[in-house]
Structure 1
Amino acid sequence: MTVMSIAGLQLALPANQDNFDTIAREVRNVKKRFPHIAMVVLSELATFGPAPRYAEPLPGKTESRYAELAAETGLWLVNGSLFERAENRVYNTTSVLSPAGEVVARYRKMYPFLPYEEGISAGDTPCVFTIPGMGTLGVSICYDMWFPESIRALCWQGAEVIVHPTLTNTIDRDVELSIARASAATNQCYMIDVNAASTMGVGRSLIVGPGGEVIHQSSVEHDVMVFDVDFDYVRRVRERGWQGLGQPLKSFRDHPVAWPQYQKDAHSETLDGLGALKKPDKLA
């Protein structure tokens, strides 16, 4: 049986300060209360909030503290993300730590929330990692999910579970919930969408199964979401279809279409006519 228990932590943390000690206490508490869990997932930028002045090189001090926490608790730990400073640029980067305290993956957010996430550079490499004896997981961060290609690329590379730290405090959270469900259904994967609670975020974290079914949706308050990922279930859904219905990954694989928007030198008059990517002007 390939079942892995995961805890998503929707924490109520203040922005613009060092929250590591609070996070570490929460991680230790959830492991003590639920000793069967194998992984903890935090929300995007949980440690310091959306403050690039806290950016540090990776490997670095804060990532090392997370590695020590992972080794101490014997958990796979997804640290949400940190601002990473590298070569005069700043990236929004998630680190995945193993129970041995090793960094097994780093993922730079590919779609910063432009034009609002100013000064943050985009990553260019999808990230998957494998947990021996279980399966393959992919990492996505917040606004990445709005681009279907990002989740499809992860599943193309074998991801059966998408770990998706989020930091949303805006009116579009309800739309994100529908995107998370659609992403899970169209890619036949789990989506683990962990947002921050107030004051940093609006909560409403979401755990979705490979048929798009809601396993759990949080309220806006502090929430510890302990649930099971069944890798055999994902594989069965992909082989037979959810409830014996659609098999979209096979259809995508087998269809001969060459999508015009992905061809070399592709051009769209419609997209070109939208103007510059910038904050909206005041309405007249």
Structure 2
Amino acid sequence: MTTFAIAGIQMDAPFGDNLGLMGREIGIAVARFPWVEMIMFGELCAFGPDLQAAQPMPGPAEEYFCSLARKHGIWLIPGSFYEVHEGQIHNTSPVINPAGEVVTRHRKIYPFQPYEQGVTGGLEHTVFDVPEVGRFGLSICYDSWFPETSRALASLGAEVILHPTLTNTIDRDFELSVSRATAGINQLYFVDINNTGRLGYGRSAIFSPEGDVLHQAGRGAEIIPVFLDFDLVRRTREEGIKGLGQPLKSFRDSKIAFPQYDPKGRSYFQTKLGPLKKLERPERVSAPPVSIKSV
């Protein structure tokens, strides 16, 4: 049996420098659950959505997280923070191994436009291997709203998608539906960790390759330790979800060409959809003032 223990930390994260708080939470998680092999935080947990806090990678924040991973002997995904790279700002999540080495970095492919202004999307799908365990993929928040990103990770062999998010809006319930569906249609674990407090509404969740809810957190701070069963992923992909659907095989064997990937078939996107901009308050014609006479 191949299992791997991961703990998501749903942290009460205020705006500002949260590095010390994250270090403390890692210490608590490792002391309470010494069998955990990987720890993961929510999106932008380190500094919040502050472009002024952007820094290069490698840089001070990433080096701090490397020291924590090395100290505790864990894999660490410290959510994400803004990275300055070649004159652009990316929303980036580093992956750090137990030796304190950065294995890879994922730059969020779909910044939450038009709200995440000034952030450039990444151009690569990110997977990495944990030796003797399996392959992990990484996506950040709004990436999951585009099913192509998760299917790409599955096609690259990901058996788990790690998904730090920052959602403090009323669409969290919809996101959870997307996350659960993503796990089932790609037959993998989907680990969706949100912040709480000012930087998120919580409700982190982990879904199995058969679409089952392994755990869904509430709105408060929480440590979420679970065992991921890689044999279940492989068995589900081979035998079907609960012995039934085998969507990855059907997708592989299909001969259909999808119009959204053909420039000639993108006319609806190109001509029918309006510009990507914030929704604004409508302008209304004011009625003439009503004169109220006292009796």
**Separation in 2 of the partners of 1:172 and 1:33?**
33
Alignment of 1:64-79 (within 5 A): 64-79=63-78
Identity of aligned residues (%): 49
Output the aligned Cα RMSD: 1.0
Structure 1 portions without partners, runs of 5+: none
Residue 271 (structure 1) shift:
5.1
Verify: 1:81 aligned to 2:77, yes or no. Answer: no
Structure (1 or 2) with the larger CA radius of gyration: 2
How many Å separate the matches in 2 of 1:276 and 1:123? Answer: 21
**1:192 corresponds to which letter in structure 2?**
V
Code of the residue aligned with 1:213 in structure 2: it is: D
Mapped to 2, the partners of 1:175 and 1:71 lie a distance apart of: 37
Whole-Å Cα distance in 2 between the matches of residues 270 and 100 of structure 1? 46
Structure 2: distance between partners of 1:3 and 1:267: 43
Which amino acid in structure 2 is aligned with residue 193 of structure 1?
D
User: Does the C-alpha gap of structure 1 residues 263 and 224 become closer, same or farther in structure 2, counting only changes over 3 Å?
Assistant: same
C-alpha distance in 1 between matches for 2:153 and 2:268:
29
Structure 2: stretches of 5+ with no match in the other structure: 284-295
Q: Which residue number in structure 2 is paired with residue 123 of structure 1?
A: 122
Look up the equivalent residue of 2:44 and give its one-letter code: L
| CA distance in 1 between partners of 2:282 and 2:180 (Å) | 34
Q: Quote the Cα distance in structure 2 between the aligned partners of 1:75 and 1:269.
A: 47
Matched, 1:246 2:241: no
Give the SS at the match of 2:198. coil
State the TM-score, normalizing by the size of structure 1: 0.98
Offset of residue 265 of structure 1: 4.4
Q: Which residue is equivalent to 2:203?
A: 204
Q: Does 1:267 align with 2:266?
A: yes
SS of residue paired to 2:45: coil
Report the 3-state secondary structure (helix = DSSP H, G, I; strand = E; otherwise coil) of the residue aligned with 1:105: strand
Counterpart secondary structure, 2:242: helix
Quote the offset at 1:211 in angstroms. Answer: 1.0
Deviation at 1:264, TM superposition (A): 4.2
Letter in 2 for 1:256: K
Q: Establish whether residue 168 from structure 1 lines up as the match of residue 167 from structure 2.
A: yes
Q: CA deviation at 1:275?
A: 1.0
- Distance change (3 Å), C-alpha of 1:183 and 1:271: farther
Q: Distance in 2 between matches of 1:245 and 1:72?
A: 44
Match of 1:174, SS state, is helix
Mapping of residues 142-161 of structure 1, within 5 Å: 142-161=141-160
Shift in Å, 1:41 = 0.6
